[in-house]
């Protein structure tokens, strides 16, 4: 697994933990134990931390963007995994212009396949593609076919 993929998965897990705990303003101790398990070397924890911090600091803007691109869906009704992954992907589109939008979308789709429901990959791809288009970035039109 590529280092950035591992970081994205780690960030998803951290955001999911916060979502399950219901902490909108997490205390530093909330994530301290989580991060402690991943700081034993030059692993992906640094990129993961930057993603989580970006999502937490820009959550209102991220949620506003997501709401504007999701027809007939409310954030409160989404599965927590899909919601966290959408926030993560949206932050990556906003806060990491050096990463091509197509890479962000492909990674989000693959992570959705691993952690989400059967429909998650297509849903995440569609919403993030709409966000990327709104931001003027080239996204994907459809999820890539899964290799088996």
Please report, for the domain that includes residue 105, its CATH number: 1.10.940.10
In a domain, residue 139? The reply is no
Q: Which domain holds residue 86?
A: 3-134
**Is the pTM of the predicted complex or chain greater than 0.85?**
no
In a domain, residue 143? The reply is no
Instruction: Collapse the DSSP code of 67 into the 3-class scheme (helix H, G, I; strand E, B; otherwise coil) and give the result.
Output: helix
Weakest mean pLDDT among 2-6, 29-33, 131-135: 29-33
In a domain, residue 46? The reply is yes
In a domain, residue 146? The reply is no
Please count the structural domains in the chain.
1
In a domain, residue 145? The reply is no
In a domain, residue 147? The reply is no
The DSSP-derived string for 88-131 is HHHHHHHH-TTS-HHHHHHHHHHHHHHHS-TTHHHHHHHHHHHH
Question: What's the whole-number mean pLDDT along residues 96-108?
Answer: 94
In a domain, residue 141? The reply is no
Residue 59 pLDDT > 70: yes
Q: Pick from 145, 22, 68, 40: which is nearest to 86 by CA?
A: 68
In a domain, residue 102? The reply is yes
The two three-digit tokens of residue 98, written as one number: 């050096």
CA distance linking residue 14 with residue 48, whole number of Å: 9
Q: State the DSSP H helix or E strand holding residue 75, giving kind and residue range, or none if neither.
A: none
In this prediction, residue 33 has a pLDDT band, given cuts at 50, 70 and 90, of low
Sign of the Cα pseudo-torsion (73, 84, 96, 138, in order)? negative
């Amino acid at each position: 697994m590529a280092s950035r993929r591992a970081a994205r998965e780690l960030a998803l897990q951290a955001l999911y933990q916060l979502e399950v705990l219901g902490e909108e303003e997490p205390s530093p101790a909330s994530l301290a134990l989580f991060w402690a398990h991943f700081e034993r070397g030059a692993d992906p924890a640094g990129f993961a931390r930057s993603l989580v911090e970006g999502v937490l600091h820009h959550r209102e803007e991220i949620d506003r963007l997501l709401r504007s691109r999701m027809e007939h869906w409310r954030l409160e009704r989404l599965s927590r995994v899909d919601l966290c992954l959408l926030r993560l992907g949206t932050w990556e589109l906003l806060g990491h212009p050096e990463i091509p939008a197509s890479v962000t979308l492909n990674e989000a789709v693959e992570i959705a396949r691993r952690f989400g429901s059967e429909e998650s990959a297509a849903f995440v791809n569609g919403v993030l593609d709409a966000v990327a288009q709104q931001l003027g970035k080239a996204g994907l039109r459809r999820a890539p076919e899964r290799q088996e």
